[in-house]
Structure 1
Amino acid sequence: MIGVGYEGLTVDQLVARLKAEGVEVLVDVRLTPLSRKPGLSKRALSAALAAEDIRYIHDRRLGNPKENRSAYADAESDAGIAARARYRAQINSGDGADAVRDLATLAKEKVVAVLCFEADQAHCHREQVIAAVRDADVSVLV
Protein backbone atom coordinates (compact mmCIF):
# COMPACT_ATOMS: atom_id res chain seq x y z
CA MET A 1 0.00 0.00 0.00
CA ILE A 2 1.20 3.46 -0.82
CA GLY A 3 -0.03 6.92 0.06
CA VAL A 4 -0.24 9.40 -2.77
CA GLY A 5 -1.16 13.06 -3.01
CA TYR A 6 -2.07 14.63 -6.31
CA GLU A 7 -0.94 18.14 -5.37
CA GLY A 8 1.25 19.41 -8.21
CA LEU A 9 0.37 16.49 -10.50
CA THR A 10 -1.75 16.21 -13.61
CA VAL A 11 -4.09 13.28 -13.93
CA ASP A 12 -1.69 11.70 -16.45
CA GLN A 13 1.25 12.06 -14.05
CA LEU A 14 -0.80 10.55 -11.23
CA VAL A 15 -1.90 7.59 -13.34
CA ALA A 16 1.68 7.04 -14.56
CA ARG A 17 2.93 6.98 -10.96
CA LEU A 18 0.24 4.48 -9.95
CA LYS A 19 1.08 2.26 -12.93
CA ALA A 20 4.79 2.41 -12.08
CA GLU A 21 3.99 1.31 -8.51
CA GLY A 22 1.85 -1.59 -9.74
CA VAL A 23 -1.28 -0.19 -8.11
CA GLU A 24 -4.43 -2.21 -8.78
CA VAL A 25 -6.89 -0.20 -6.67
CA LEU A 26 -6.93 3.49 -5.78
CA VAL A 27 -8.88 4.34 -2.63
CA ASP A 28 -9.81 8.01 -2.57
CA VAL A 29 -10.08 9.18 1.05
CA ARG A 30 -11.18 12.73 0.30
CA LEU A 31 -14.45 13.50 2.06
CA THR A 32 -15.71 15.17 -1.11
CA PRO A 33 -13.89 13.90 -4.22
CA LEU A 34 -13.90 17.18 -6.12
CA SER A 35 -10.96 19.08 -7.54
CA ARG A 36 -10.39 22.26 -9.46
CA LYS A 37 -7.62 20.43 -11.29
CA PRO A 38 -8.84 18.92 -14.56
CA GLY A 39 -9.34 15.16 -14.42
CA LEU A 40 -8.97 14.80 -10.66
CA SER A 41 -12.61 14.84 -9.58
CA LYS A 42 -14.31 11.52 -8.91
CA ARG A 43 -15.87 10.73 -12.31
CA ALA A 44 -13.01 11.88 -14.49
CA LEU A 45 -10.39 10.24 -12.27
CA SER A 46 -12.35 7.02 -12.16
CA ALA A 47 -12.54 6.98 -15.96
CA ALA A 48 -8.81 7.72 -16.38
CA LEU A 49 -7.96 4.91 -13.96
CA ALA A 50 -10.38 2.44 -15.58
CA ALA A 51 -8.65 3.06 -18.93
CA GLU A 52 -5.46 1.75 -17.26
CA ASP A 53 -7.17 -1.17 -15.46
CA ILE A 54 -6.93 0.48 -12.04
CA ARG A 55 -10.07 0.23 -9.94
CA TYR A 56 -11.31 3.42 -8.25
CA ILE A 57 -13.04 3.42 -4.87
CA HIS A 58 -14.17 6.52 -3.04
CA ASP A 59 -14.52 5.84 0.69
CA ARG A 60 -16.19 8.84 2.30
CA ARG A 61 -15.98 7.11 5.69
CA LEU A 62 -12.24 7.84 5.66
CA GLY A 63 -12.64 11.52 4.77
CA ASN A 64 -11.30 14.21 7.06
CA PRO A 65 -14.02 16.73 8.00
CA LYS A 66 -13.44 20.18 6.50
CA GLU A 67 -13.26 21.89 9.89
CA ASN A 68 -10.47 19.51 10.94
CA ARG A 69 -8.14 19.97 7.93
CA SER A 70 -6.35 23.28 8.38
CA ALA A 71 -4.56 22.19 11.56
CA TYR A 72 -2.78 19.39 9.66
CA ALA A 73 -0.31 21.94 8.25
CA ASP A 74 1.67 21.90 11.50
CA ALA A 75 1.72 18.43 13.03
CA GLU A 76 3.62 19.58 16.12
CA SER A 77 1.31 22.44 17.09
CA ASP A 78 -1.41 22.01 19.70
CA ALA A 79 -4.00 22.44 16.94
CA GLY A 80 -2.29 19.82 14.76
CA ILE A 81 -2.09 17.34 17.61
CA ALA A 82 -5.77 17.92 18.44
CA ALA A 83 -6.84 17.53 14.79
CA ARG A 84 -4.99 14.23 14.52
CA ALA A 85 -6.55 13.03 17.77
CA ARG A 86 -10.04 13.89 16.48
CA TYR A 87 -9.40 12.06 13.21
CA ARG A 88 -7.88 9.07 15.00
CA ALA A 89 -11.05 8.82 17.11
CA GLN A 90 -13.11 8.93 13.91
CA ILE A 91 -11.28 6.00 12.31
CA ASN A 92 -11.12 3.96 15.49
CA SER A 93 -14.87 3.68 15.95
CA GLY A 94 -18.10 3.11 14.05
CA ASP A 95 -18.06 3.58 10.29
CA GLY A 96 -14.46 4.76 10.35
CA ALA A 97 -13.26 1.54 11.97
CA ASP A 98 -15.33 -0.48 9.50
CA ALA A 99 -13.69 1.43 6.64
CA VAL A 100 -10.21 0.72 8.01
CA ARG A 101 -11.04 -3.00 8.27
CA ASP A 102 -12.40 -2.98 4.71
CA LEU A 103 -9.24 -1.28 3.46
CA ALA A 104 -7.02 -3.72 5.37
CA THR A 105 -8.86 -6.66 3.81
CA LEU A 106 -8.53 -5.14 0.34
CA ALA A 107 -4.82 -4.46 0.89
CA LYS A 108 -4.25 -8.15 1.66
CA GLU A 109 -5.53 -9.03 -1.81
CA LYS A 110 -4.50 -6.11 -4.05
CA VAL A 111 -1.84 -3.44 -4.41
CA VAL A 112 -3.63 -0.38 -3.05
CA ALA A 113 -2.89 3.34 -3.12
CA VAL A 114 -4.59 5.73 -0.71
CA LEU A 115 -5.26 9.11 -2.36
CA CYS A 116 -5.80 12.61 -1.03
CA PHE A 117 -4.63 16.05 -2.12
CA GLU A 118 -1.52 17.00 -0.13
CA ALA A 119 1.81 16.08 -1.68
CA ASP A 120 3.46 15.79 1.74
CA GLN A 121 1.82 12.91 3.55
CA ALA A 122 2.87 14.37 6.92
CA HIS A 123 0.29 17.11 6.33
CA CYS A 124 -2.52 14.75 5.36
CA HIS A 125 -4.92 12.42 7.12
CA ARG A 126 -4.01 9.58 4.75
CA GLU A 127 -0.92 9.07 6.92
CA GLN A 128 -3.26 8.10 9.77
CA VAL A 129 -5.34 5.88 7.48
CA ILE A 130 -2.21 3.98 6.47
CA ALA A 131 -1.06 3.73 10.10
CA ALA A 132 -4.46 2.34 11.09
CA VAL A 133 -4.22 -0.28 8.35
CA ARG A 134 -0.69 -1.09 9.51
CA ASP A 135 -2.04 -1.56 13.04
CA ALA A 136 -4.57 -3.99 11.55
CA ASP A 137 -1.58 -6.29 10.81
CA VAL A 138 -1.46 -5.69 7.06
CA SER A 139 1.89 -5.13 5.34
CA VAL A 140 2.10 -1.49 4.27
CA LEU A 141 4.74 0.32 2.25
CA VAL A 142 4.82 4.10 2.36
Structure 2
Amino acid sequence: MVVGIGYEGLSLPEFLARVSALGVSHVVDVRYAARSRKPPFNKKALAAALSSVGVGYTHMPELGNPPSNRPGFGGSPAELVASRAVYAGLMPSLTPLVELASRERVALLCFEADQSRCHRDVILSSLP
Protein backbone atom coordinates (compact mmCIF):
# COMPACT_ATOMS: atom_id res chain seq x y z
CA MET A 1 0.00 0.00 0.00
CA VAL A 2 1.15 3.54 -0.74
CA VAL A 3 0.11 6.72 1.06
CA GLY A 4 1.24 10.31 0.69
CA ILE A 5 2.78 12.55 3.32
CA GLY A 6 3.95 16.14 3.27
CA TYR A 7 6.20 17.63 5.93
CA GLU A 8 5.09 21.25 5.52
CA GLY A 9 4.42 22.73 8.97
CA LEU A 10 5.77 19.68 10.81
CA SER A 11 8.77 19.33 13.06
CA LEU A 12 10.86 16.19 12.62
CA PRO A 13 9.35 14.54 15.74
CA GLU A 14 5.83 15.34 14.46
CA PHE A 15 6.71 13.92 11.05
CA LEU A 16 8.14 10.72 12.56
CA ALA A 17 5.02 10.34 14.71
CA ARG A 18 2.82 10.69 11.61
CA VAL A 19 4.89 8.10 9.74
CA SER A 20 4.50 5.75 12.69
CA ALA A 21 0.75 6.41 12.99
CA LEU A 22 0.34 5.53 9.30
CA GLY A 23 2.17 2.24 9.83
CA VAL A 24 4.76 3.15 7.21
CA SER A 25 7.84 0.94 6.91
CA HIS A 26 9.49 2.79 4.00
CA VAL A 27 9.51 6.44 2.90
CA VAL A 28 10.05 7.18 -0.77
CA ASP A 29 11.20 10.75 -1.24
CA VAL A 30 9.75 12.07 -4.50
CA ARG A 31 11.31 15.51 -4.30
CA TYR A 32 13.32 16.47 -7.37
CA ALA A 33 16.17 17.39 -5.03
CA ALA A 34 16.14 16.02 -1.49
CA ARG A 35 17.04 19.35 0.09
CA SER A 36 15.03 21.51 2.42
CA ARG A 37 15.21 24.84 4.18
CA LYS A 38 14.42 22.71 7.23
CA PRO A 39 17.76 20.87 7.80
CA PRO A 40 16.24 17.76 9.43
CA PHE A 41 14.45 17.10 6.12
CA ASN A 42 17.60 17.09 4.00
CA LYS A 43 18.32 13.68 2.49
CA LYS A 44 21.05 12.37 4.83
CA ALA A 45 19.52 13.74 8.03
CA LEU A 46 16.07 12.46 7.13
CA ALA A 47 17.36 9.01 6.17
CA ALA A 48 19.20 8.77 9.51
CA ALA A 49 16.15 9.91 11.49
CA LEU A 50 13.90 7.42 9.73
CA SER A 51 16.44 4.64 10.21
CA SER A 52 16.55 5.39 13.94
CA VAL A 53 12.85 4.48 14.16
CA GLY A 54 13.13 1.44 11.88
CA VAL A 55 11.80 3.03 8.69
CA GLY A 56 13.60 2.68 5.36
CA TYR A 57 14.31 5.59 3.03
CA THR A 58 14.75 5.81 -0.72
CA HIS A 59 15.12 8.96 -2.77
CA MET A 60 13.59 8.62 -6.25
CA PRO A 61 14.53 11.92 -7.92
CA GLU A 62 13.17 10.62 -11.22
CA LEU A 63 9.70 11.02 -9.66
CA GLY A 64 10.38 14.65 -8.74
CA ASN A 65 8.44 17.54 -10.22
CA PRO A 66 10.77 19.79 -12.23
CA PRO A 67 11.08 23.35 -10.89
CA SER A 68 9.57 24.79 -14.08
CA ASN A 69 6.31 22.90 -13.45
CA ARG A 70 5.86 23.74 -9.76
CA PRO A 71 4.13 27.15 -9.93
CA GLY A 72 0.95 25.70 -11.40
CA PHE A 73 0.45 23.40 -8.43
CA GLY A 74 -0.06 26.50 -6.30
CA GLY A 75 -2.00 28.43 -8.91
CA SER A 76 -5.56 28.67 -10.15
CA PRO A 77 -7.66 25.54 -10.75
CA ALA A 78 -6.83 25.72 -14.48
CA GLU A 79 -3.11 26.07 -13.76
CA LEU A 80 -3.28 23.11 -11.38
CA VAL A 81 -4.96 20.94 -14.02
CA ALA A 82 -2.33 21.97 -16.58
CA SER A 83 0.61 21.29 -14.22
CA ARG A 84 -0.81 17.90 -13.23
CA ALA A 85 -1.05 17.01 -16.94
CA VAL A 86 2.52 18.15 -17.61
CA TYR A 87 3.81 16.10 -14.69
CA ALA A 88 1.80 13.04 -15.77
CA GLY A 89 3.46 13.28 -19.18
CA LEU A 90 6.93 13.41 -17.60
CA MET A 91 6.39 10.67 -15.04
CA PRO A 92 8.64 7.66 -15.58
CA SER A 93 7.72 4.02 -15.02
CA LEU A 94 6.30 3.39 -11.58
CA THR A 95 7.45 -0.26 -11.58
CA PRO A 96 10.18 0.20 -8.94
CA LEU A 97 7.68 1.93 -6.63
CA VAL A 98 5.02 -0.72 -7.24
CA GLU A 99 7.54 -3.49 -6.50
CA LEU A 100 8.60 -1.83 -3.24
CA ALA A 101 4.97 -1.28 -2.24
CA SER A 102 4.24 -4.96 -2.80
CA ARG A 103 6.63 -5.72 0.08
CA GLU A 104 6.25 -2.72 2.38
CA ARG A 105 3.82 0.00 3.42
CA VAL A 106 5.21 3.03 1.60
CA ALA A 107 4.73 6.77 2.10
CA LEU A 108 5.52 9.13 -0.75
CA LEU A 109 7.22 12.19 0.70
CA CYS A 110 7.22 15.75 -0.55
CA PHE A 111 6.96 19.14 1.13
CA GLU A 112 3.38 20.19 0.34
CA ALA A 113 0.87 19.54 3.14
CA ASP A 114 -2.13 19.73 0.77
CA GLN A 115 -1.72 16.56 -1.26
CA SER A 116 -4.17 17.74 -3.92
CA ARG A 117 -1.67 20.54 -4.66
CA CYS A 118 1.32 18.19 -4.92
CA HIS A 119 2.67 16.01 -7.69
CA ARG A 120 2.63 13.01 -5.34
CA ASP A 121 -1.16 13.01 -5.81
CA VAL A 122 -0.58 12.41 -9.54
CA ILE A 123 1.73 9.51 -8.70
CA LEU A 124 -0.77 8.01 -6.25
CA SER A 125 -3.62 8.28 -8.76
CA SER A 126 -1.46 6.53 -11.39
CA LEU A 127 -0.66 3.47 -9.28
CA PRO A 128 -2.38 0.20 -10.17
1:101 is displaced (CA, Å) by 1.2
Is this contact kept in 2: 1:11–1:38, CA < 8 A?
Answer: no
Aligned alpha-carbon RMSD (Å): 1.1
| Residue equivalent to 2:100 | 106
Q: Is the 8 A contact 2:80 2:117 kept in 1?
A: no
5+ long unaligned stretches in structure 1: 137-142
Question: Match of 1:50?
Answer: 51
Distance 1:14 1:38 in 2: 13
Partner of 1:72: 73
**Corresponding letter in the other structure for 1:4:** I
Asked whether the equivalents of residues 32 and 61 of structure 2 are also in contact (C-alpha less than 8 Å), the reply is: yes
**Aligned pairs (5 A) from 1:1-142:** 1-74=2-75, 76-77=77-78, 79-91=79-91, 96-97=92-93, 100-133=94-127, 136=128
> For 2:123 and 2:7, how far apart are their aligned partners in 1?
17
Q: Note the alpha carbon deviations across 1:69-119, whole angstroms, 9 max, x for none.
A: 010013622x2222111100111xxxx11xx11111111111000000000
Separation in 1, partners of 2:44, 2:67: 21
TM-score by length of 1: 0.86
Distance (Å, rounded) in 2 between the aligned partners of 1:84 and 1:26: 22
| Aligned-partner Cα distance in 2 for 1:51–1:23 | 14
SS of the aligned residue for 1:32 comes to: coil
Runs (4+) of structure 1 exceeding 3 A deviation are none
1:114-134 alpha-carbon deviations (Å, 9 max, x no partner): 00000000110000111111x
Amino acid aligned to 2:110: C
Offset of residue 38 of structure 1: 2.9
Q: How many residues align?
A: 127
Aligned residue type for 2:114: D
Give the conservation status (yes or no) of the 8 Å contact 1:5–1:117. Answer: yes
Measure how far apart 1:33 and its partner are.
Answer: 0.6
Matching residue's letter, 2:126 = A
- For 2:43 and 2:23, the matched residues in 1 are separated by 21
Q: TM-score, normalised by structure 2?
A: 0.95
